[in-house]
Every structure is written in C-alpha cells, then in structure tokens.
Structure 1
Amino acid sequence: MKKLLLTLLAISCVAFLYLGNMYWKEKTTLVASEEKTTKTIETSPSGETQVPQKEATEEEGKKDLDSLTANWPEEARTHFKELMKKDEPFKLAIVGSPAMGEDENGWAPQLKEKLLSELGSQVEVEIFQSDVTSIEFINGEESDNVLAFEPNLVLLEPFSLTDNSNQVGTVQNHESILMFLREMKETNEDSVLLLQPPHPLEGATYYPQQIEALKEFAGEESISYLDHWDSWPDDKTLSDYLIESQDTPNEKGHKIWADYLIEYFINESSEVS
C-alpha cells in the first residue's frame, strides 16, 4: 500500500511539473508576441497609429516623384503614377532632328541623364534622332522605330527647320504631326504627345512665321507645346549660341535648351509655374 501511494505521489509531481512548464512557455510566447506587435505598430501620445518607418519612407518617395512630375500633362502624370504602383517603367521618347545633339552632349542627352538621375528606374528614356524631313519621318522607318518603343510620352521636335531647308510647307508639316499622333494612339491609347520647336535662327524672316504657325496649330489641336524660344536671346547675340551654319546649337545653345526642358520635366521648385 505504501509503495502504491509513493508511486501515485511521484506521478502527480511529474504531471504538476509538466503542466507548469507548459503554462510558462505559453505565457512567455504570448508576452513576446505582444512586444513584437507593439514594436511594429506604435502609437503617438494622441493615440494615432504610426506608420512603420520603412512604409513611411516608401510613401515619401512616391510623393517626391509626384512632385517632380508636377509640370507634366495631367494624362501623363496619371499614367506615370499607375505604372509606378505596378513597378513598371514609364517610357519617354525624345524625337527630332540632328539639332538634338545626340552625339555631342546636346540637349537631348542632357535631358535623358537628368530624367534617369531624378526618376531612376521609374522611367525608360530613348533618343530618336533622324536627319529627315517631317514627310520622310512619317513615311519611313524612323517613325516605326519610335512606335516600336511603345512610348507613354513623346517629346517631338517635328523637323520644322529641316522642312524649311527642303521646301516642305507648313501644311505638310502639320499633317505629318497629326498622322504620327494617330499612329501613336493606335499603338498606345494612353500615350501623350508634347511638341516643341527647333532652335531659333539669327536673321531669319520666314522661319519664325513657320514656328508661330506651329504654336497656333498645337493650340488648335490641344497638343501641349513647350515654347523654349523665350529662353534664347532675341538680338544679334543669338549667333553666339549656334554653330556657324546655324543648323544646330553650339554648347552654349544646347545648355539653354536643356535647362528649359529639365526645369519642365523635373519640377524642383515648391510651386508649379
């Protein structure tokens, strides 16, 4: 009988120790879980839930990019933000004549470098430089190459100066732009076209009239127009910003052009101009 009681007592002690150990482990796990939750979601003195630091940093980055693109056409900004949420790049095509200076650190390479520097992987930028008239552009592989890129935004310098030198009229120039716009929308209905003139010329008479007509045409067709001519000198010193033939800007001219476009595409001011 005594041995039986001792055996039962031993079994009871073992059971008590086991249950006590299980209770301690469960309580310890619960406390650790509560501490982890407290660290993850903190509250302010007013009782408001605080966003974890990593999420707050990511949200701040998105707001910064939204601010930098504040000058863009609204349709382009909306699509940019949609693609950013999907973590997909916004494609921007820079299209025009040799006045872009693709191989000479011209305004186009400077703009591309700035866009990639400020917007990073959120943008994909390609330069399409062609020594053709507007008619040759729309009828040749040059426009096909641009469309194959499937751009979301196209900055087009529509070969107006080249047309001027090759007796291509203003009407034909504008028709080529409209044809390209239609084909661009067929490729990507959300794509946006931006127009800009080539550089100004010193002593020209008919050419400025063509550019004024281009500006009016853009307004009539509701196409955004970037008028960088206001940034250039309007006197004889203009020749100091062009090569001798005036076919393209020189280094100083490219800087004027690039600075204007960079200020438009990368809004670093607190207010939108």
Structure 2
Amino acid sequence: MKYSFYMYFPSIKEWLLLDIREATGGNFMKKVMYSIIIALSIASIIFGNYYYKFKINETAEAAKMELSKTKSVSNESSSIKEITKKEEINVTKNLPDSIVSKIQAKHDQQKPVEFVILGSEVNALQEGTWTSLFQKELTNHYGSDAFNLTVITTKETSDIVLEDQLYKEALTLKPDLVLIEPFLLNDNGNYVMEDTLIYVEKIINDFERLESKPVIMLQPTNPIYQPKYYAEQVSMLKDYADNKGFIYLDHWPSWPDVNSNELNNYIESNNPNQKGYKLWAEFFKNYFIAE
C-alpha cells in the first residue's frame, strides 16, 4: 500500500483541485496562501519534534561522557592511593614485620611513629652526627610527619642511668620503637659485661611495661682501633640480643676491620669523625629505607 501526503491532509487536496474558472477568481490566491501556511506549520511541527528528540539524545550523551569522566577520575585517585601504598611497602621492605606493623599502624592513625634512641654521647642529635644524618633520611623518604625522633644521651655508666632513670623522658613519650646502645664504652673499665647486661635488662623492662609495647632494638657503640675486652663486650651483647629475641643492629661489619689502620680514618679519640658518622648513618639508612 502506498502512502501519500494527501492521505493525512485530504482538505489540502480539495483546495488544490479547483475548477479552472474559479482559479481566475480572487479566492485562488487566498487558497494558495492558506495552503502554504498550513504546510509550513506542519513542517515546523515535524522539525520541532525532530529537534526535541535530537537535544534529548545530545543531553544523554553528554551525561554519559561526564559520568565516564567521573569514573576515570575516581579510578585515577584509587590508582594514586595504590601506588602510594606500594611505594611505602617498598621503602620498608628491609624491615622486620614488627617494625613495619608499628609504622603502618601510626600511618593509619595519622600520627608519627615515636622513635627513641638511648645511648652514650656519640649518639647525640647534633649537626653532623649519625643520628642527625639518619633523621634527615627518614624525613626525605617517609615525610616530615612520619617519625618523631627523640635522642637521649649521657656520659654516665649504665648503673647511674638506671638508678637516676635518665631515660624517664623517653618513657613518657610511650615510644613505638626503642633503640638502645648500652653504654659499653662508658662501662668499659668500670664494670664487667655481665653487670652491664643486668642494668640494661632492667632499663629494657621499664620500656616493655609500657602500654605502647615498643619494639626493642640494640646496637653496639662504634668500633675502636684494636679493641681488647671491648670486642668481647660487643660479642656478648649480640649473643644477649639473640637469646632474648631483640633486634640487633650490627653496624660493625660496615666499618673497616678493627685491626686495620684504615679504621683510624673514621675514628678519632675513640669517637667517630665526620666520615665515621656518615658511615654509621648509611647503615641505618639502608636498614630503614629500601631503595
């Protein structure tokens, strides 16, 4: 069946099929004008309907594109968080799980890790010392708010440190990590190592009773040239840490051999010089910061 325009608008056909004689009259032009107006009106309605549908489709497509863009931004944000998490895991990959757990817990709480270093004066937090160099590395790799480093040092022997509780300030901080250098050179010549370890263990017990349950780490003092009994003290400290299950950070292998003259390039008057402090800090950087 064929369809034509006149099937829907028969009146127009009637107006157009005029008698030839009537066409010469004045009504002819009126009929033509009416027909044109009606045709234009119909065309306007059809075009308006088409344009309306077109705009609806256009709006819908724009909405889809905006939604897609939003999802893309959301996915990008998730990717950034995931990358950040992976980077953090890579930085701590050399650390034992006990330390990583402390760092992650404080990160989740948006609080700094309370890190206490306790020992003799060679650990003082001063310009150029190993602790100051190490602190800069922590800041550079973890951020300025990741660690709150507190260093407590003394020239006293371990018995005085215990009796006078010279580490009391550290206890009030409720630390997450505690690194102790057990005053070996301070005690050397004053106490046998067995006594030193008794004092040190009592100090450690005070930290272990804290609610924060800090991870305890031990380290030796710096090496000295051709040590005698001091070398035995260091060996006994390592055995003590292993037996008690404490983390022992043995930086001695990073130094030149204690019987080599080369060690004197890093030590002056039994204390580290600038090169010695840099070497000491490098050891801790490599332990706490994986690159």
Instruction: Answer yes or no: is 1:240 the counterpart of 2:265.
Output: yes
1:31 deviates by: 6.1
- Contact 2:185-2:230 at 8 Å conserved across structures: yes
Could you state the TM-score of these two structures normalised by the residue count of structure 1? 0.78
Q: 1:164 to 1:91 in 2, by over 3 A?
A: same
Instruction: Answer yes or no: is 1:193 the counterpart of 2:216.
Output: yes
Instruction: Answer yes or no: is 1:92 the counterpart of 2:109.
Output: no
CA offsets 1:185-213 (integer angstroms, 9 cap, x no match): 22234310111100111122111001100
- Contact 1:96-1:130 at 8 Å conserved across structures: yes
Question: Matched residue pairs, number?
Answer: 238
**Which residue type is aligned with residue 119 of structure 1?**
Y
- Contact 1:160-1:198 at 8 Å conserved across structures: yes
Instruction: Answer yes or no: is 1:36 the counterpart of 2:59.
Output: no
Distance of 1:85 and 1:163 partners within structure 2:
41
Q: 1:96 to 1:60 in 2, by over 3 A?
A: same
Distance of 1:225 and 1:164 partners within structure 2:
20
Distance of 1:237 and 1:84 partners within structure 2:
42
Q: 1:124 to 1:28 in 2, by over 3 A?
A: farther
1:81 to 84, 104, 107: 104
Unmatched tracts of structure 1, length 5 or more: 1-19, 43-49, 269-273
Distance of 1:25 and 1:195 partners within structure 2:
74
2:184 to 160, 163, 171: 160
Distance of 1:29 and 1:187 partners within structure 2:
63
Q: For residue 134 of structure 2, give the secondary structure of its aligned residue in structure 1.
A: helix
Could you state the TM-score of these two structures normalised by the residue count of structure 2? 0.74
Aligned to 2:5: none
**Which residue type is aligned with residue 266 of structure 2?**
Y
Distance of 1:61 and 1:192 partners within structure 2:
25
Q: 1:103 to 1:123 in 2, by over 3 A?
A: closer
**Which residue type is aligned with residue 144 of structure 1?**
K
Q: 1:263 to 1:28 in 2, by over 3 A?
A: same
1:28 deviates by: 8.6
Instruction: Answer yes or no: is 1:128 the counterpart of 2:128.
Output: no
- Contact 1:76-1:191 at 8 Å conserved across structures: no
1:162-241 paired onto structure 2 within 5 Å: 162-165=186-189, 167-234=190-257, 235-241=260-266
2:126 to 91, 94, 103: 103
- Contact 2:179-2:218 at 8 Å conserved across structures: yes
Greater CA radius of gyration, 1 or 2?
Answer: 2
Distance of 1:238 and 1:252 partners within structure 2:
10
CA offsets 1:100-146 (integer angstroms, 9 cap, x no match): 24334111111111111111122222222222212222222421111
Unmatched tracts of structure 2, length 5 or more: 1-48
RMSD value, Cα: 2.5
Aligned to 1:6: none
**Identity fraction in percent:** 28
Distance of 2:186 and 2:247 partners within structure 1:
22
Distance of 1:59 and 1:169 partners within structure 2:
52
